[in-house]
Structure 1
């Protein structure tokens, strides 16, 4: 894209020419790969709403995977949909040095005198999921401070694991009629209950039971400590039951729109997370706040949110060139690294190695080393084409059960290829493919056109922007409400979905962006930039910690980084070990030009003192990442450190490490 185009559009005002999210799919053609059935099958709980392609990594899938008895976190509440009804928890955080979690406590259980019957999903969209029991339906909507139950002729019961102290000031044994009920529990919690018409409740020691069948909506909401119910009272009649996410772009700006589908009357009250508040356009805020695993949520009044997100102007190269004093050393390393080849046959390590070659090709472009650049690209082609043709041993297959692209090894063994057959880590793996393909396309558009169909299927698996692709689900890993992605797929976890390496998630979306740039497709380019921008924003909020942050309390905050973010928990650890360098550097690798925006100097300034003691016990590959982080705050020291290394990670190289240091701002001083 020409720089003048973006400037011109911005000067003209909000003219949004590119529809990033919503609209038509990128393509609809059949996958060109072998088609197989998955050995894990969706069951009857998916109901009539369940049909391929399934949202394998959605925030709510714990409700229908495995036992179906684990939690989902619509925020600010946690919920479980069990045989006896919906269990709702609003618990305090447990804060330790190595983790923070919110334990599930069934503060309120929404059920019926006649029993609940079986449960199935009846609807889902990017901002909600609806679970239907026999004559009782629950739309769980992201950010709703109410849990809503829609009764159709059943007798409501609101139970609790706690004792009921009073309802509307009346003691246990009373019968109270009305449409608003103020419930005090003996754990100190204060819950509001709202009904769409008058109901008579008997107040029991551990429950409220209605006097007869009810048809209408019943909503429960916890009043957080120190807050009052005024906002909840004012907006209880406006009921979100679903929502849509759309986005448009102009130049280097995108506008994301959340539009909630409503029933009832009035304006809805919906809670925003800290990263929303940074970019919401003219929000009308209420006074109520909820503290959650991701910090304080702020009440927003209105059915439409518009958020303005800056899109990166970084493209193939670092914002600054190589400092002249380092140029010869970088050029020498580039020539010496020509022997690097792709040797791994799996999609993750093989993808990392293709990404390494792609980075070397771009550095060669930058330095005017045309022959070296061509050689690096030929090595990428040699490695990638068997994947695209389906002739490699761990070839792609199309899973016609769930609707997705997975490898044959992972299809046959759920533990193979980091569980990608269970839809783990797809954006990590395929982002490397997209990155490498974009780099080849930059110089050889004919190659990209030749392999367009399989390349687009890899892209569509992780980044369909429409929700209307017949073969792939909408942006599989992305949680548009949270801003970040979920790496875990069709496996239930007690703490909900999780993501470890946010930097590899960013790299996945950087790959989508560069692929769009390489083939000259503005929508794909801006889709990648938007996916990346929201991921980086959430990375800064929910993974990186500085002294100016307030998301995570001490003593956890002293770690300066989160290793794994779960739905209801954060860990200072990784899936593969507790080494400090693992925890910190898995949030940094791979180092590419976009790392410039991920690795804020203010974060590295505080984080490096926690990370640097690990140097003495780290392997050479991990040392390389530590030294590259050091370059953000001390270029001269990092240059010497990188030159002392005798080996590099398979997703890195001496050339890339030196180039990173040589393009830091301090390199020019």
Structure 2
């Protein structure tokens, strides 16, 4: 989340592209410009977008800082995005390094030396002058700017004046360099101690302030300035620098084996095995060997990676804000992650009062008529309508379903239609940045390109509900092509797309999304609402499955399982990675250099917890993976809320604590979360008539969710199925299986415990049996 808000969330809209025919398939379809009222309006199926900035609208106020060699869409919302938004950059955190592009070159330091914690967060060092060291150019003391020259999935190359090119990336202890018209210089805060090598050896090991670095010059190079704070490498045009785990000779020698293998490409490939319900992700490095015969490179794995990998690790480690990075050597590694399935809706499982549920649904169907707003709040309205329409359909309330669906369709189609005079409820394609911006924008979704995955995720999930109930609406000839544009904007699976960058909001190596388009903070980029990212991936999975696009579906599954692992580790800390001095049960906002108990919009602990839970819908069942953690989370919230209220000068101190039966605003979100671990206990705390309802939720959804889980029990993650749309629950000695079929064609679904369900209709099939 990027900007201050009075409500929880940030979201941004981006999508565009040109289709040559309407008969081609989703992501690779070119777009045809049909005859419209003006050439600025581009037709996409039944919808359209504009290439002309609407009157009064804003967009990024600068062109990307890239070299002339760059001919493809620009990544934003990444750990290195300030490099392309700024003349130089703010601090960037590829981990284990911290780096910053500066007029004198690239500043380098080790954030891990400042690793500490207190009750408000986990922190690493933010670089302040004097630096550990600066890589510069002997013939050019200052540069006019630093520009992105090239990039791959988690590496980037920065060009300083087209004379110094430096490459760095996630997990790498190295910075690789090439230089022309001069020699590389290494300027330290003070004269470093040389623990290995001398002026005539190509490799130097140096230590400064407890941090150690390897300086790797080309064979035959010499060093000027030994014994001073500035070293110059006299020799060939290539070199590298490595942050070392220690200052031992054998460590330097080990790193030297890989120092001349410059990483030229980093690439992720994922595959979803439907039969085993597993996602296999391969991370590969391509190197250019300037010297030596060693293969591959050295790379640090984050906790969420080595927990899922059989890759052999060395004994070397680094500290970073995500915990301990463990170093491996080679050409890449592989992770295998289970996928527990998603459901498009919670089916009618009984256990509730039909008259009460109908009343709640009918009330919303009659009264909830949201008007077009900015992309975030329109998105939340779309999410609420989609969940309500599915619930009405599941429980046989045809009239309400029809009314809600019509409202949902009208809102989407309004935003999916551009006209010359229209300034609200449309999308605009910004070519320099390769992005779709929806207007009205909010929370920096226009000027900073913030939160597109949050905002557009709601649109995508809402469209998936229409695709489920009205397949024709979702066809490419109708409105499906516009939905695909939104997906391409925030989660494009194609590297060669001429209009949008690859996986814009997702940090492939760190395993989660970033909200800020620029990432222009001393602490790097940030992401607050992890659950809204999961809402987007839920929508993407459903959209892909329901429209028959397996590539989109499988990309959504890859994003879903990877982000879930990151959430468990870095937001919820279920594996206890963080120091005990951080006494909270979660970090509500993750940054490059820290993880903190805070939000952009509120100091109330219920918002810090709830922003990583909402919107609660059928794709939110991943939150029930760790029932014991849920109890820990809510116990912490209760304590925090009491302390917060005591400090609130505006609160009447005679009022009872806002916990348990009296959570107050957002209490529906908290009780629904509690129900994933203890539905009877949560149900006992509910007052369905008077409980305040969070704006993206509904009383009907709150009521039905609580009763569904009270009857079905807890999510059972020990069982998987050979289909993506499923869920398994356990209560007492009873296990219940739910399978959604998008087709009436019979299909045999097999679960990992041997249970078989044969689907013969469109919809959810439910079967229960006693545990063996």
What TM-score do you get using the length of structure 2 for normalisation?
0.77
Q: Name the counterpart of 1:587.
A: 612
Distance in 2 between residues matched to 1:639 and 1:418, nearest whole Å: 39
Q: By how many angstroms is 1:110 displaced?
A: 1.4
Q: Name the counterpart of 1:75.
A: 95
What secondary structure does 1:530 align onto? helix
Q: By how many angstroms is 1:184 displaced?
A: 2.3
Spell out, residue by residue over 1:174-232, the C-alpha distance to the aligned partner (whole angstroms, 9 max, x if none): x52112212122x1222222223132224545525237454222333232489944542
Aligned pair partner of 2:308 in 279, 303, 307: 279
Contact 2:261-2:288 at 8 Å conserved across structures: yes
What secondary structure does 1:58 align onto? coil
Q: Name the counterpart of 1:488.
A: 516
Q: By how many angstroms is 1:483 displaced?
A: 0.9
Q: By how many angstroms is 1:162 displaced?
A: 3.9
Contact 1:139-1:242 at 8 Å conserved across structures: no
Asked whether 1:27 is paired with 2:55, we answer: no
Distance in 2 between residues matched to 1:560 and 1:193, nearest whole Å: 42
Q: Name the counterpart of 2:485.
A: 457
Q: Name the counterpart of 1:63.
A: 83
Do the aligned partners of residues 155 and 382 (structure 1) sit closer, same or farther apart at CA in structure 2, a change above 3 Å counting? closer
Note the 1:291-330 alignment, pairs <5 A.
291-318=319-346, 322=349, 324=351, 329-330=356-357
Note the 1:396-415 alignment, pairs <5 A.
396-410=427-441
Note the 1:611-650 alignment, pairs <5 A.
611-613=637-639, 614=641, 616-617=657-658, 620-644=664-688, 645-650=690-695
Count matched residues: 631
Note the 1:88-237 alignment, pairs <5 A.
88-91=108-111, 92=113, 93-105=115-127, 106-115=131-140, 117-118=143-144, 119-133=146-160, 134-152=162-180, 154-168=182-196, 176-185=199-208, 187-210=209-232, 212-224=234-246, 228-229=251-252, 231-237=254-260
- Which structure has more helix as a fraction of its residues? 1
Q: By how many angstroms is 1:418 displaced?
A: 4.7
Do the aligned partners of residues 317 and 195 (structure 1) sit closer, same or farther apart at CA in structure 2, a change above 3 Å counting? same
Distance in 1 between residues matched to 2:117 and 2:247, nearest whole Å: 18
Distance in 2 between residues matched to 1:24 and 1:468, nearest whole Å: 14
Spell out, residue by residue over 1:76-127, the C-alpha distance to the aligned partner (whole angstroms, 9 max, x if none): 1011111111111103224232133322332122123222544332211212
What secondary structure does 1:120 align onto? strand
Q: Name the counterpart of 2:561.
A: 533
Q: Name the counterpart of 1:601.
A: 627
Do the aligned partners of residues 633 and 195 (structure 1) sit closer, same or farther apart at CA in structure 2, a change above 3 Å counting? same
Do the aligned partners of residues 549 and 302 (structure 1) sit closer, same or farther apart at CA in structure 2, a change above 3 Å counting? same
What secondary structure does 1:507 align onto? helix
Q: Name the counterpart of 2:361.
A: 334
Contact 2:458-2:539 at 8 Å conserved across structures: yes
Contact 1:59-1:496 at 8 Å conserved across structures: yes
Note the 1:539-558 alignment, pairs <5 A.
539-546=567-574, 548-550=575-577, 552-556=578-582, 558=583
Asked whether 1:659 is paired with 2:704, we answer: yes
Distance in 1 between residues matched to 2:30 and 2:268, nearest whole Å: 21
Do the aligned partners of residues 418 and 166 (structure 1) sit closer, same or farther apart at CA in structure 2, a change above 3 Å counting? closer
Distance in 2 between residues matched to 1:235 and 1:52, nearest whole Å: 31
Of residues 479-488 and 118-127 in structure 1, the stretch that sits farther from structure 2 once superposed is 118-127
What secondary structure does 1:642 align onto? coil
Aligned pair partner of 1:395 in 418, 421, 426: 426
Distance in 2 between residues matched to 1:24 and 1:418, nearest whole Å: 28
Aligned pair partner of 2:474 in 448, 451, 454: 448
Q: By how many angstroms is 1:606 displaced?
A: 0.9
What secondary structure does 1:537 align onto? helix
Q: By how many angstroms is 1:496 displaced?
A: 1.4
Distance in 1 between residues matched to 2:180 and 2:444, nearest whole Å: 45
Q: Which runs of 5+ in 2 are unaligned?
A: 1-24, 33-41, 43-47, 643-656, 715-730, 733-772
Q: By how many angstroms is 1:501 displaced?
A: 0.2
Spell out, residue by residue over 1:589-640, the C-alpha distance to the aligned partner (whole angstroms, 9 max, x if none): 0101222113431321211111135384587441111221222233223223
Spell out, residue by residue over 1:326-349, the C-alpha distance to the aligned partner (whole angstroms, 9 max, x if none): 666444433443222323522111
Spell out, residue by residue over 1:347-373, the C-alpha distance to the aligned partner (whole angstroms, 9 max, x if none): 111111111111112223332334433
Distance in 1 between residues matched to 2:435 and 2:498, nearest whole Å: 11
Q: By how many angstroms is 1:403 displaced?
A: 1.6
Do the aligned partners of residues 323 and 44 (structure 1) sit closer, same or farther apart at CA in structure 2, a change above 3 Å counting? closer
Contact 2:192-2:206 at 8 Å conserved across structures: yes
Q: Name the counterpart of 2:271.
A: 248
Do the aligned partners of residues 205 and 330 (structure 1) sit closer, same or farther apart at CA in structure 2, a change above 3 Å counting? farther
Asked whether 1:262 is paired with 2:287, we answer: yes
Q: Which runs of 5+ in 1 are unaligned?
A: 1-22, 170-174, 411-415
Q: By how many angstroms is 1:487 displaced?
A: 0.8
Of residues 609-618 and 507-516 in structure 1, the stretch that sits farther from structure 2 once superposed is 609-618
Q: By how many angstroms is 1:578 displaced?
A: 1.5
Do the aligned partners of residues 619 and 381 (structure 1) sit closer, same or farther apart at CA in structure 2, a change above 3 Å counting? farther
Contact 2:75-2:504 at 8 Å conserved across structures: yes
Distance in 1 between residues matched to 2:372 and 2:606, nearest whole Å: 24
Spell out, residue by residue over 1:10-55, the C-alpha distance to the aligned partner (whole angstroms, 9 max, x if none): xxxxxxxxxxxxx994433265311136653544731124445211
Do the aligned partners of residues 458 and 94 (structure 1) sit closer, same or farther apart at CA in structure 2, a change above 3 Å counting? same
What TM-score do you get using the length of structure 1 for normalisation?
0.88
